[in-house]
Structure 1
Amino acid sequence: MKKNNQRFFDILLLLFIFLLPTQFGKHFFLEFSYISGIRIDYLSYAIYTTDLIALIIIFINRQHIFKFFKEKTTLLILFFLAISIVFSFSPWIAFYKFLKAVEILALFAVFRNALINKLFLLYGFLSGAVLQLGLSVFHLINQKSIQGLFYYLGERYFTSSIPGIAKASLQGVEILRPYGTFSHPNSMAGFYLLVYSLILGTDFKKNQILKNVSLVICIFLILISFSKTAILGLIIVNIIVLLRNYKKAFCKFCAVARVFVLSLISLIFLQSTTDPLSLVKRVQLIKSSISIISTYPITGVGIGNYLVAQSKLLGSSTVFPLQPVHNIFLLLIAEVGIFLGGAIIFFLFKYFYNFRKYDVLIYCAITIIISGFFDHYWLTLQQNILLLGVVFGIIANPRSRFEKFR
């Protein structure tokens, strides 16, 4: 890439990373986007600002992408995903989700092969995190959204009095959980847990202060989200960091104290109570997913078609039509079938096994596994899905192996 083109790509990359946590876009609700007369965001067509920037990035790096899409594993995955459209409950929904899968794979190819400016990458994540922290603190203090300019970054309108809004109760005080520009606090927490793991596993020798500031902001966002899964994930990742680096630690007491203090602070937020029916709903959704898998074990119900299948097979209730199962592994198998779902998991494991010696992969993989066992946002929500392609593309980058970015 020529010098001027590289500079343009760096700036575009900075903008993309900064806007990655946002969700401003246009939804198109078509006939298949409704269940029992209820409009479902998961079933709509949507074009986001980040999609438009991603298309430009993909076009600039089209040679890398064409090469990646010629690889046998990529072709096989895309072929079987395309075949699943035929067997889906709603082919139009499956087709849109197929295009989204192509977008994520293309972003993975870009970040796997591109020459990345590490400082721009850090600036992008840090500036985005600062924005989310400012919004989240406002939400906590005022118990409502700001709107205005922030609407164009994807902040949704809400107040603490809106039914169904995410709340937490701490020491008898009910608190509106901050959303930032995400559709749910859990999504924000998972997003920044993965960003935290990525930055934590990166060597920023010349920018250690920026790295530490970024990590602290990510921790704040995870804690004030009151997402118990993400908070537990944060503790586990730091314990793994301690175990893998204890012998090399300059100050062993400091390393242990860091994990101890973080765990102690986390316990304050873990004491909160959120939705009292959360466990009941999750168990019901797991049962429904198992029922769907047992009914369509080979073909699945089609990518993106889980909610459609759930409503048709199990009927309508206050739980089933509105939410996918809170487990990405069950959700994946329910939508694409046992064989393709298992094959995708196997190929991912086999591909990234080659990078197992890199700490950053361990931290990020643990993050996805822990959060993915208890929520669905890695397969359903825009910000989290795009982040997957970016993060794991960076980890797989053969030029840099992440530690050697320019």
Structure 2
Amino acid sequence: MSRKLFFLLILFLPSQIGRHFWPQSFLVSGIRIDYLAPTIYFTDLIKLGILVSFLFEQRKKLSLLKKLLSAKYMIPLFLLLFFIINIFSSSFRLIAFYKSLKIIEFIFLGFYIVKSKIKLPSLLIPLALGVLFSSILGLAQLIKQSSLNGLFYFFGERTFTASTPGISLIDISGRLLLRPYAAFPHPNVLGGFLSIALIFIFFFFKTMKKNISYVGFFLFVLLFGVISLLTTFSLSSNLAFMTSFILLIIAHPKTFLFKLKPLFIFLPLFLLVFVLFLTKVYSVNFLNDSALRIRLDLEAVSLWLQNPYIGIGLNNFIPLSHISSESLFFFRQPVHNIYLLVLAETGFIGFFTFIFLILSSLKRSLKLWRQKIYLPLLLLIQVLLIGFVDHYFLTLQQGQILLVLVFSLAFLPKSSYT
């Protein structure tokens, strides 16, 4: 049962169906901010179902208490103690407490993925359906220059037009165009999902059934996915995808270079040209955006210095930031760098714990790479690269699920990839 629910989680990963709550203590200067609001997502309910069914399936094995008391499981106990200290040292304790609960929730999800030894090829269908849904919806939004509304509202699509305040636009030759959102909170998150999902599908392409309709379906998904990725105008996601894609070709040239010559020779060249175009667009039209990001980076360092060991408190960046108190709408966001965000909110202790997790994942990924299992390292590279310029892997539901999935891949056995 838990595996079926996990497949359902992957299928609904591109959606943001949820119910937001707005307690007074979670508002900043009386303003509602999505990053802080306690929210029950449909994917949270699925994760709860996974946890309950998994514990029921494991009821005859060693007790959970015995496992927690073993040396191998001392890390979760350390994290729990750190969360308690971090909460009580923060200025906005309820906000930090809620964020701690979310982190514990995702730790359990990662624990489940590793312990259940999920067969990754079985995730291809739900992931491909998610890519296809997001790609078609995003392209339709780009053409219409607004949300589609109607039935898509129930999949988490928000209502917006190109004139909605704070909406993400791209300036091309003096014309402002709405960037596609699909059912994600921002085009960059859509881009990150597509970048990771497409590399996942590309990796397993060589092992797919030699069935024309089956292969044709995935080629169709890949085509729409790549087009949608390009039209998100997410520079970080396109660069991350291109980096992983080229590494995949270099690692496995017999499959990706010789068997499918036209697709795998011209696609990276096309991506390179498009990324150069994106670089030009961003350099001309988004200098102000870069300046704002730098201000947020400096603010993160300033806040970290206030409590260098424990940090200012989980999810406390926005309410404590001096920039957030200004009138500009844009500034009511976390720093666009996951490393600085972890450092500011959790101090040295949380930062080095995060770095330890990254290094452990890199070590395991490199071990799998030597066994010709390239996927974990390719996806980890994407997350680490995007993490330098965006925050959604730590702050948004869909990004957090992606982060847990990517980190978990490194700790799966080789048998999970066949």
TM-score normalised by structure 1 residue count = 0.88
**From 278, 286, 304, the counterpart of 1:293:** 304
**C-alpha separation between the residues in 2 aligned to 1:226 and 1:187?**
11
Opposite residue 375 of structure 1, the aligned amino acid is: D
Partner of 2:141: 139
Identity of aligned residues (%): 32
2:302 partner letter: S
Q: Which moved more, 1:227-236 or 1:283-292?
A: 227-236
Secondary structure in 2 aligned to 1:161? Answer: coil
2:338 matches 1:338:
no
Does residue 277 in structure 1 map to residue 288 in structure 2? yes
- Which position in structure 1 is the counterpart of 2:375? 360
Amino acid at match of 1:59: V
What's the counterpart of residue 88 of structure 2? Answer: 86
- 2:387 counterpart residue number: 372
Instruction: Report matched runs for 1:6-405 at 5 Å.
Output: 8-62=1-55, 63=58, 66=64, 71-202=73-204, 205-207=207-209, 209=215, 210-246=217-253, 251=258, 256-273=265-282, 275-311=286-322, 315-318=325-328, 322-357=332-367, 358=369, 359-398=374-413, 400=415, 402-404=416-418
State the alpha-carbon separation in 1 of the partners of residues 192 and 357 from structure 2: 23
Hey, what's the Cα distance between the residues in 2 that align with 1:281 and 1:145? 27
What one-letter code is carried by the residue in structure 2 that aligns with 1:297?
P
**Aligned partner letter, 2:101:** L
**Deviation readout 1:215-272 (Å, 9 max, x if unpaired):** 4333223211101111111222223223333488663976554422332344444443
Counterpart CA distance in 1 for 2:175 and 2:377 is: 37
Instruction: Give the Cα separation in 1 of the matches to 2:380 and 2:324.
Output: 33
Which residue identity is paired with 1:193?
Answer: S
SS at 2:167 equivalent = coil
- Looking at structure 1, the residues matched to 320 and 330 of structure 2 have their Cα atoms a distance apart, in angstroms, of 10
RCO greater where, 1 or 2, for CA within 8 Å and sep 6 or more? 1
Q: 1:232 to 1:249 in 2, by over 3 A?
A: closer
For residues 290-314 of structure 1, give each alpha carbon's deviation from its aligned partner in whole angstroms, at most 9, with x where no partner exists.
1111222111011111112214x98
Q: In the aligned structure 2, how far is the partner of 1:158 from the partner of 1:43?
A: 21
Residue 198 of structure 1: CA displacement? 3.0
> Deviation at 1:339?
2.6
8 Å CA contact 1:10, 1:120 repeated in 2: no
Distance in 1 (alpha carbons) for counterparts of 2:387 and 2:140:
28
Pick which of 317-326 and 220-229 moved more. 317-326
User: Separation in 2 of the partners of 1:95 and 1:68?
Assistant: 25
Q: Distance in 2 between matches of 1:264 and 1:223?
A: 11
Q: CA offsets per residue over residues 166-191 of structure 1, 9 Å max, x none? A: 11122333210000011110111112
Q: Does the 8 A contact of 1:168 with 1:275 survive in 2?
A: no
8 A Cα contact 1:304 1:335, kept in partner? yes
Asked if the contact 2:318/2:324 (under 8 Å) is kept, the reply is: no
- Local SS of the residue matching 1:339: helix
Contact 2:121-2:204 at 8 Å conserved across structures: no
State the 1:9 CA deviation.
3.8
More displaced 10-residue stretch of structure 1: 230-239 or 317-326: 317-326
**Gapped runs of 5+ residues in structure 2?**
none
Paired residue secondary structure (2:166): coil
Contact 2:343 2:351 (8 Å CA) reproduced: yes
8 Å Cα contact 2:117-2:413 kept in structure 1: no
Alignment RMSD: 2.6
The change in CA–CA distance for 1:91 and 1:259 in structure 2 (over 3 A counts) is same
Does structure 2 retain, via aligned residues, the 8 Å contact 1:192–1:218? yes
| AA of the residue aligned to 2:350 | L
Give the count of matched residue pairs: 395
Secondary structure in 1 aligned to 2:281? coil
Q: State whether residues 378 and 388 of structure 1, in contact with CA within 8 Å, keep that contact through their aligned partners in structure 2.
A: yes
Per the TM alignment, residue 319 of structure 1 is displaced from its structure 2 partner at its CA by 6.0
CA distance in 2, matches of 1:134, 1:242: 27
Q: In structure 1, how many angstroms separate the alpha carbons of the residues matched to 2:222 and 2:143? A: 23
Which blocks of at least 5 consecutive residues in structure 1 are unaligned? 1-7
Q: Is the 8 A contact 1:104 1:389 kept in 2?
A: yes
* Contact kept in structure 2, 1:35 and 1:321, CA below 8 Å: no
1:398 is matched by which residue type in structure 2? P
Moved more, 385-394 or 126-135: 385-394
Q: Offset of 1:315 from its aligned partner? A: 4.3
